[in-house]
Chain A
Amino acid sequence: MKKEIIHATQVTKIYGIGTSHPYTALHDVSLLMYEGEFVCVMGPSGAGKSTFINNLSTIDIPTKGTVYIQGEEVRQMSPKQMGEFRYKNLGFIFQEFNLLDSLTIFENIAVPLTLANMNHEEITQRVHDVSRKLDIEATLHKYPSECSGGQRQRVAIARALVTHPKVIVADEPTGNLDSKNSHEILSLFKQLNETEGVSILMVTHDPKIASYSSKLLYIKDGMIDSEIKREGLSQKEYFYKIVDLNSNESQELFE
């Protein structure tokens, strides 16, 4: 039986409550995500994609609705529990890499392990293991500013993976990368998803990147507009379906 990993029910997010211009970024959105799923979120700019994944992953708290991650309700957690939950269960990857400039690459990767109170040997071992896997061992003693964009994103991924999280949350992880690096990183995501059973929730603009997923949610005006499942389709067929969905959206512009 498939195990639920994220269960969001009727999530609504309103910004600027109490001001003269409150703005509803998400309207009653629900999602049931199972362990080992690779869900991709697409949609036009300003549709609420980032708000959606932020609200589903403890980065933001919904105004209404409930979010369960691994059976725990996010809104019931204290700040301390939430922090602990974050570094133990979730791995975040963002377009801007979000590395800590004053720490070396090694230290950047080690941060979640330090937070988890691991001992020195285990930290060193894990950082070396994950950096070997991502081919960034040579950069471990450099600072983020001394690395290329591709290397920095690999470091961000290494930091997200080093605690062996159950879910990876990625917001436009390839947004700042060239196509070669983008596909290398997506192949890695796919491998993690298929061989290690890591669940992935990812936002992207690019249909090619989205074609690596197993399910696609199309968000428009803060609501889930459509959903496509890959199921038995080849990556190419799935890609065409995604392109169709996006071009239907573009067609509306001319009607």
Chain B
Amino acid sequence: MGTFKFSMTILKKEFKKSIIFGLTMLFSISMSLVFFDIINNPHLQDTVKANGGTTFATMQLPFASSLSFVIILFCGFMIFFANNFYLSKKTGEIAILSMSGLSSFQSTLYLIYQTFALILIALPLGILLGQGLTIIMHYWIYDYLNIHASLFYTPVMTYIQTVIFVLVMMFLLCVLESGFIYRHDIQSLLMENKEMEFKDRRIIKFPYVVYGICYIGGIVMMFTEPHQSTSYIVPTFLGIYGAIGLLRYVLAKFIRKLKEGPLLTKKYALIYTSNLCQSIQQAYLLVALLVGSITSMMTIIMSCRNSYREFVVAIMGYVVVIVLLTVSVIYKFLMEAQMRKGLFYNLWKVGYTKCELKKIARNEVVYFYLSLFLIPFVYIVIILGRFVYFDHISLWFVLMMTLFYMIPLILSTIFTYIQYKKSVIDTIQGR
């Protein structure tokens, strides 16, 4: 059987492995279409026209268009992220192929064929979904901006640019995948899936207190800086740096201390805190991205509040960023969860009942998402609180912004728990 035929057979047989990657691509493509429409649609174009210039300083770009472009880039970035997770699920498979005599080039082709097949499915579906979302977006935005135009009109350039975006992504994914194959030998591919232990790979090892100071420092700076939308960006990023440091390097030590003390006698907490700590450490980059993106989008929304067009685009971007990131978080969490099958089975053998195991899994998932919610929440509350205080926005708006952020996280919690339970507890044979 040729590499192509074999890769298609495996893709079909192990389709479950590719679902979330495929869905991320589908959603990202549809979102790119929506935002390319914002850039190209003459009815939605900014009153400030784009002007070229001989230098960056003299160049003018309408903000709604630049923001749309940033969101499209973000969609591309999320495809990369999902591809990275997808590859890490396939390490065992690639190792076996290499052991069976496939060259690095053939292994790369094997991956590329599968990725292309997924893109070929995701592209028409993504365009179709994007078209549907564009009509809904037109309905909403035209009504909001008092524009009288056909809801179904989408410039041809939008489709062309979406296809170009997908082609560029395809090329970059090829580079990424070939790099992945050439970087790994059989041994490292086989070990990749089993490596659960967190390793401190910092080049400069700051004392832990530095992270605490950064986190609190970010909060303090928000109050000391003059009240402007942009003035919240630096404190937020300082705070994120602190929060991530605390999560990665301090949380584990703190939980370990707790486990030596009061948690040792708690039959649920002893297990779920250990797993939770591991999950947070494995997903720290996504947590940082989520916190950074949400708070940045929040400040962008606030800075656009006087321009309807930009304001609407920013809110749409905010929602898209949250949805894409939560999908990635689910993907990452469930990937780690796959590795816990043995752990839950062993707990069952030791004497935990399935009901007790469900409780452990539930607590683990709930606390994971709760920490995702709470880490940026402090910053969101402060930023929005300051805007409310200076009388720029209503409490109703604050509530809406928080709900936009909370609802995807609540839905993800439920979905993640169901999938987690399915893969680690429902598979246990016996009572």
A and B bind: yes
Interface, chain A (partner B; CB < 8 A) = 58-61, 79-80, 82-88, 92, 96, 98-104, 106-107, 110-112, 114-115, 117-120, 123-124, 143, 145-146, 159
A-chain residues with CB within 8 Å of residue B305 when the two chains form the complex: none
Knowing A102-B275, A103-B271, the reply to whether A118 touches B265 (Cβ < 8 A) is: yes
CA distance A55 to B353 in the complex (A): 17
B-chain residues with CB within 8 Å of residue A124 when the two chains form the complex: 264
Knowing A114-B264, A114-B265, A120-B264, the reply to whether A86 touches B351 (Cβ < 8 A) is: yes
Q: Which of A83, A104, A107 interacts with B353 by CB under 8 Å? A: A83
- Write the nearest CB–CB distance from A59 to chain B, whole angstroms: 6
- Write the nearest CB–CB distance from B269 to chain A, whole angstroms: 9
- Write the nearest CB–CB distance from B252 to chain A, whole angstroms: 10
Knowing A114-B265, A119-B265, the reply to whether A87 touches B350 (Cβ < 8 A) is: yes
Knowing A61-B430, A82-B431, A107-B270, the reply to whether A87 touches B351 (Cβ < 8 A) is: yes
Question: Does B196 lie at the interface of the complex (its beta carbon under 8 Å from any beta carbon of A)?
Answer: yes
Told that A83-B352, A101-B197, A102-B271 touch, could you supply 18 new A-B pairs with CB distance under 8 A? A58-B430, A80-B355, A85-B351, A92-B350, A98-B346, A100-B271, A102-B278, A104-B259, A106-B260, A107-B270, A111-B270, A112-B351, A114-B267, A114-B270, A123-B264, A124-B264, A145-B196, A145-B197
B: number of interface residues (CB 8 Å) = 34
**By the criterion CB–CB under 8 Å, are A107 and B264 in contact?**
yes
**By the criterion CB–CB under 8 Å, are B274 and A107 in contact?**
yes
CA distance A87 to B352 in the complex (A): 8
**What are 26 A-B contacts with C-beta separation under 8 Å?**
A58-B430, A59-B430, A83-B348, A83-B352, A85-B351, A86-B350, A92-B349, A98-B342, A98-B349, A101-B196, A102-B271, A102-B274, A102-B275, A102-B343, A107-B259, A107-B274, A110-B264, A111-B271, A111-B347, A114-B264, A114-B265, A114-B267, A115-B351, A120-B262, A123-B264, A159-B350
- Write the nearest CB–CB distance from B329 to chain A, whole angstroms: 19
- Write the nearest CB–CB distance from B333 to chain A, whole angstroms: 14
Question: Does B359 lie at the interface of the complex (its beta carbon under 8 Å from any beta carbon of A)?
Answer: no
A-B pairs, top 3 by smallest CB distance, nearest first, are: A87-B351, A102-B274, A86-B351
Knowing A86-B349, A86-B350, A100-B346, the reply to whether A61 touches B431 (Cβ < 8 A) is: yes
Using an 8 Å CB-CB cutoff, how does the interface string of B331-355 with A read, 1 for contact, 0 for none?
A: 0000000000011011111111111
Residue from A99, A102, A118 whose CB has the most chain B CB atoms within 10 Å = A102
CA distance A114 to B273 in the complex (A): 14
Knowing A98-B342, A110-B264, the reply to whether A115 touches B430 (Cβ < 8 A) is: no
Question: Does B183 lie at the interface of the complex (its beta carbon under 8 Å from any beta carbon of A)?
Answer: no
Using an 8 Å CB-CB cutoff, how does the interface string of B270-284 with A read, 1 for contact, 0 for none?
A: 110011011000000
B86-113 residues at the A interface, CB under 8 angstroms: none
Interface of B, secondary structure class, is: helix
B-chain residues with CB within 8 Å of residue A110 when the two chains form the complex: 264, 270
CA distance A117 to B267 in the complex (A): 8
CA distance A96 to B354 in the complex (A): 22
Residue from B265, B274, B429 whose CB has the most chain A CB atoms within 10 Å = B265
Knowing A87-B350, A98-B346, A102-B343, the reply to whether A79 touches B431 (Cβ < 8 A) is: yes
**By the criterion CB–CB under 8 Å, are A101 and B265 in contact?**
no
Q: Which of B265, B270, B354, B431 interacts with A103 by CB under 8 Å? A: B270
- Write the nearest CB–CB distance from B346 to chain A, whole angstroms: 4
A-chain residues with CB within 8 Å of residue B346 when the two chains form the complex: 98-100
Using an 8 Å CB-CB cutoff, how does the interface string of B413-431 with A read, 1 for contact, 0 for none?
A: 0000000000000000111
**By the criterion CB–CB under 8 Å, are B351 and A83 in contact?**
yes
CA distance A192 to B256 in the complex (A): 33
Question: Does B266 lie at the interface of the complex (its beta carbon under 8 Å from any beta carbon of A)?
Answer: yes
Question: Does B185 lie at the interface of the complex (its beta carbon under 8 Å from any beta carbon of A)?
Answer: no
CA distance A85 to B349 in the complex (A): 11
A-chain residues with CB within 8 Å of residue B270 when the two chains form the complex: 103, 107, 110-111, 114
Nearest CB in chain B to that of A87: its residue: B351
Residue from A100, A103, A119 whose CB has the most chain B CB atoms within 10 Å = A100
CA distance A104 to B273 in the complex (A): 12
Residue from B354, B356, B431 whose CB has the most chain A CB atoms within 10 Å = B431
A-chain residues with CB within 8 Å of residue B260 when the two chains form the complex: 106
**By the criterion CB–CB under 8 Å, are A115 and B352 in contact?**
yes
**By the criterion CB–CB under 8 Å, are B429 and A60 in contact?**
yes
- Write the nearest CB–CB distance from A111 to chain B, whole angstroms: 6
Nearest CB in chain A to that of B351: its residue: A87
CA distance A112 to B196 in the complex (A): 23
A-chain residues with CB within 8 Å of residue B265 when the two chains form the complex: 114, 117-120, 123
CA distance A87 to B349 in the complex (A): 9
B-chain residues with CB within 8 Å of residue A101 when the two chains form the complex: 196-197, 342-343
- Write the nearest CB–CB distance from A108 to chain B, whole angstroms: 9
CA distance A37 to B266 in the complex (A): 35
**By the criterion CB–CB under 8 Å, are B350 and A111 in contact?**
yes
A-chain residues with CB within 8 Å of residue B345 when the two chains form the complex: 98
CA distance A228 to B352 in the complex (A): 36
